Structure formats: structure tokens, C-alpha cells
């Protein structure tokens, strides 16, 4: 089977003065295209560090990382930037939108740095992406005029706009209430159904139940790796949730 992600004995050590912090101690992880993976684990177990390596935001101390079968360890800083632009979409806990900038312009931002210029009409592409996350009518709103859930949808639209094969979401629901969290998970499940591989970091057991596979980390190592037989459907839950509320 093809693998979109394959890491071999990946380690990351931070040096804090004389003290070495071993954030990752040897990660072997394979992810197939179309998977929906949730990474869980205690605070400080190395989840974000791993996500940063997978997302080509950082380089490992040792080990190999193959993205789409290509070893990315040997690439230059600029090629890293291009991979982030072309293949990966990021969704963060704190949304990380540009303030005082409209939703539309926020979503357009990655296309600004797309050197392949494969998208002919960036503005239309951004509108389409907002449409996919259900925010067609909020294009001119600035982040301060949007709710947390809406901001996260804009962030997801931004991750989508370059049509990446992989979306990385580090605690995307960490700042949101339960209902909005399920709402965001519904969006992610939707994208996953359209074939995009999704890796999600979360603390919450409830949220991880929407993924198809759960990886648990402790002290910089993967301790458990389970497929979820009957993953939950966020859309259905949302209907029930609304029912309970009413």
C-alpha cells in the first residue's frame, strides 16, 4: 500500500542551555492516503513536535521522514516552504488568522506564495474554499467579526485553498465549545470523505472518536496505535445535539 507519510526512528532533541529535552525519542509512523488519524497523549508527550516535523515546519534531529515517498530531510529551506504551500494545510488551536484582514484575503494568502501559479483565479478559489466550509456569506468579515467556530472554518478554508493532500490540525477544537467542536469535526470528516488525509492532535477522547485511527504518545514515543472500528459521524451527532438542545 502507498504511504503518504512514513517516518523512521524520528527523534527531536531540544537543547535548553546544558539540558537536552528529548521531545521525540524514535517515532515510526506510517499513514496511508485517505486516513483520518488522531494523535493523543499527555501534555508534553511530543504531539506538537511531531506535527511540526510532519508539516515541514521543523527538521528532525535524526531519523528519516518520507512524504509521498520522497525523503524530505535532504531538502532546502525553500523546498520546505514550497511543500508547506503545495502539499500541506495547517489548522491551529489559536486559528492564526491575519487580524484586520477579511476572511477572503486570509484564505487567499497561501495562493500569494504559490510559485506554480496553478490557480488561475485566486479570489474565486478562495470563495470556493469558503463555500466548502459553509462561510460563503462571510467573505468580507474580519476575524474580530467572526465567532471562534467561524474563525476556525476560515482557517480550514485557508488550509484547503491550495488543494493539499494532507491537512494537519493541532488541537483545532481546543478553544471551542462542544457543539462548535463537533461542527468543526464534521467539516474535517467531510474533507476526509473527499479523499484528504487528516492528522489531528487532540486531548479530548470525545473528539478522537471522530477519527478512523488513534495513535497515543507518551514521553516522545508512540505507545498505542489502534484503528477505530465504529468511528462516530459528526454530522449525525450534530443533529442529535441540536435535538437535545431544543
Partner 1 sequence: MLQITNLLKAAFKSIQKNKMRSMLTALGIIIGVAAVIVMVAIGKGASARIQAQITSLGTDLLMIRPSFSNRGGVNMGAGSFNRLTFEDVEKIKEQATLVKAISPMVRSGGQVIGGGKNWSTSINGVASEYLYIRSYELQSGEMFTERDERSSKKVAVLGKTVAEELFGDQDPVGEQLRINNTPFTVIGVLKEKGQSGMGGDQDDVILAPAKTVLYRLKGGQYIDMIYVSAISKDQIYAAQQELTTIMRAAHRLQEGEDNDFDIRNQADIIDMASATTKTLTILLGSIAAVSLIVGGIGIMNIMLVSVTERTREIGIRLAVGARSSDILTQFLSESIVLSLVGGIIGTLLAFVVTFVMRKFTSFTPQIYPATVILAFSFSAIVGVFFGFYPARKAAMLNPIEALRYE
Ligand X SMILES: Nc1ncnc2c1ncn2[C@@H]1O[C@H](COP(=O)(O)OP(=O)(O)OP(=O)(O)O)[C@@H](O)[C@H]1O
Count CB-CB contacts under 10 A for residue 25.
Answer: 15
Q: Minimum CB separation from partner 1 for residue 233, in Å? A: 30
User: Cα–Cα distance between 124 and 161 in angstroms, integer?
Assistant: 10
Which listed range, 22-30, 55-63, 191-199, 234-242, lies at the site for partner 1 (CB under 8 A)? 55-63
Q: Minimum CB separation from Mg ion for residue 223, in Å? A: 17
Grid cell 459521524 in the structure block, residue = 233
CB 23 within 8 A of CB 46: yes
Q: Which residues of 180-211 are buried (b: 16+ CB within 10 A; e: fewer)?
A: bbbbbbbbbbbbbeeebbbbbbbeeeebbbbb
Query: In this complex, which beta carbon is closest to ligand X, that of residue 23 or of residue 72?
Result: 23
> Which residues 6+ apart lie within 8 Å of 173 measured at CB?
152, 180, 181, 184, 185, 202, 204, 207
Which listed range, 14-22, 67-75, 96-104, 191-199, lies at the site for ligand X (CB under 6 A)? 14-22
Per-residue x/- marks for ligand X, 29-68, CB under 6 A? ------------x-xxxxxxx-------------------
Q: Minimum CB separation from ligand X for residue 50, in Å? A: 7
Q: Minimum CB separation from ligand X for residue 47, in Å? A: 4
Interface residues toward partner 1, by CB under 8 A = 52, 55, 57-58, 77-78, 81-82, 84-86, 90, 92, 96-98, 100, 109-110, 112-114, 158, 162
Amino acid at each position: 500500500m502507498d504511504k503518504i507519510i512514513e517516518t523512521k526512528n524520528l527523534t527531536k532533541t531540544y537543547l535548553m542551555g546544558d539540558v537536552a529535552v528529548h521531545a521525540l525519542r524514535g517515532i515510526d509512523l506510517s499513514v496511508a492516503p485517505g486516513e483520518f488519524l488522531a494523535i493523543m497523549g499527555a501534555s508534553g508527550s511530543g504531539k506538537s513536535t511531531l506535527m511540526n516535523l510532519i508539516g515541514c515546519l521543523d527538521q528532525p534531529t535524526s531519523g528519516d521522514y518520507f512524504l509521498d515517498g520522497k525523503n524530505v530531510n535532504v531538502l532546502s529551506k525553500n523546498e520546505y516552504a514550497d511543500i508547506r504551500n503545495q502539499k500541506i494545510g495547517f489548522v491551529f488551536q489559536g486559528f492564526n488568522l491575519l487580524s484586520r484582514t477579511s476572511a477572503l484575503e486570509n484564505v487567499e494568502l497561501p495562493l500569494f506564495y504559490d510559485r506554480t501559479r496553478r490557480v488561475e483565479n485566486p479570489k474565486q478559489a478562495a470563495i470556493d474554499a469558503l463555500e466548502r466550509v459553509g462561510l460563503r456569506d462571510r467573505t468580507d468579515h474580519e476575524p474580530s467579526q467572526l465567532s471562534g467556530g467561524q474563525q476556525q472554518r476560515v482557517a480550514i478554508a485557508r488550509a484547503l485553498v491550495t488543494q493539499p493532500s494532507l491537512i494537519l490540525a493541532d488541537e483545532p477544537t481546543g478553544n471551542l465549545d462542544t457543539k462548535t467542536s463537533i461542527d468543526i469535526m464534521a467539516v474535517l470528516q467531510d474533507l476526509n470523505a473527499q479523499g484528504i488525509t487528516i492528522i489531528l492532535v487532540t486531548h479530548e477522547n470525545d473528539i478522537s472518536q471522530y477519527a478512523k485511527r488513534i495513535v497515543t504518545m507518551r514521553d516522545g514515543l508512540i505507545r498505542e496505535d489502534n484503528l477505530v472500528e465504529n468511528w462516530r459521524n459528526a454530522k449525525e451527532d450534530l443533529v442529535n445535539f441540536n435535538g437535545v438542545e431544543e
